[in-house]
């Protein structure tokens, strides 16, 4: 074997060894650490008078880090204060959307689109939802600055849902960025995009929008 062939073979072994080492690290889960999302507490609740499901309103939400879930809870509490019986559930956990008098669907925005659970929920229940009043809301960083242009962009996130089932109303709300609830990789993405930590949720706006809903959602 000539010297050139030895060098080529040596480089091949080094490259192969490096690839094997990287694969071993991946198998040990080290590469997954960067993308692993810290567990976020997702809440579900029920409030209002006991009664048949036909008189209840469902709030089905999809949340990445828990912020949208908290907005869903605030909407539920406002409705209950107005005398409405409400179930707040994660969209992925709802098994019978057809049992409700009305449905509100909410989602966070992740990488410039709604979370899949929200879209899949509406898609799977399209026929049922088309027969009852439906409202949508979105929680996103776009509305950190609340301008007509930003609101138009935020409303566009809800287009995939509206194309399946037309809502009686849509709520557009600013969100929250908490690095402690993001994976290392997602922290980097947010930082590169110029995002900063903060909570921009306007609870007065959430309550005001919800207070418009009882008559629209419960009208015969």
**Tally of residues, the chain:** 220
Spell out where 63-219 has E strands.
85-90, 102-108, 134-140, 169-174, 176-177, 198-199
pLDDT of 79: 93
pLDDT of 182: 56
Q: Which two tokens stand for residue 188?
A: 């980097």
Give the model's confidence band at 196: pLDDT under 50 very low, under 70 low, under 90 confident, else very high.
low
Coil, helix or strand for 80? helix
Using the structure block, give the residue that is written with the tokens 């590469």.
31
Q: How far is CA 141 from CA 81, 131, 151, 179, in A?
A: 28, 32, 11, 14
Q: What is the pLDDT of residues 31-89, one digit of tens each?
A: 333 444 444 556 777 876 665 555 799 999 999 878 899 999 999 999 999 889 999 99
Question: φ and ψ at 130, to 5 degrees?
Answer: -70, -10
Question: Is-contact 130 212, C-beta < 8 A?
Answer: no
pTM to 2 decimal places? 0.74
Q: What is the pLDDT of residues 117-160, one digit of tens each?
A: 999 999 999 999 999 999 999 999 889 888 999 999 999 999 99
pLDDT of 53: 57
Residue 83 CB coordination number (10 Å): 10
**CB contact set of 216 (below 8 Å; sequence gap of 6+):** 133, 135, 168, 169
104: left (phi over 0), alpha (psi -120 to 50) or beta: beta
Question: Is-contact 74 59, C-beta < 8 A?
Answer: no
Least confident of 168-172, 181-185, 204-208: 181-185
DSSP assignment, residue 99? Answer: G
pLDDT of 175: 78
């Amino acid at each position: 074997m000539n010297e050139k062939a030895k060098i080529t073979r040596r480089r091949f072994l080094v490259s192969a060894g490096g690839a094997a080492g990287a694969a071993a690290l991946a198998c040990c889960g080290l590469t997954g650490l960067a993308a692993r999302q810290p567990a976020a507490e997702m809440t579900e609740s029920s409030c209002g008078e006991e009664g048949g499901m036909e008189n209840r309103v469902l709030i089905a939400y999809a949340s990445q880090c828990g912020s949208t879930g908290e907005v869903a809870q605030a909407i539920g509490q406002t409705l209950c204060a107005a005398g409405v019986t409400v179930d707040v559930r994660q969209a992925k956990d709802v098994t019978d959307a057809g049992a409700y008098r009305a449905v509100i669907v909410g989602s966070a925005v992740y990488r410039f689109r709604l979370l899949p659970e929200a879209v899949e929920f509406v898609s799977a229940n399209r026929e049922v939802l088309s027969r009852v009043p439906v409202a949508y809301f979105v929680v996103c960083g776009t509305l950190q600055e609340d301008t007509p242009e930003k609101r138009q962009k935020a409303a566009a996130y809800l287009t995939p849902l509206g194309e399946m089932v037309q809502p009686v109303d849509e709520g557009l709300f600013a969100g929250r960025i908490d690095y402690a609830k993001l994976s290392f990789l997602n922290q980097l993405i947010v930082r590169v995009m110029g995002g900063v930590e903060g909570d921009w949720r306007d609870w007065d706006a959430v309550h005001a929008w919800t207070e418009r809903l009882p008559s629209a959602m419960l009208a015969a």
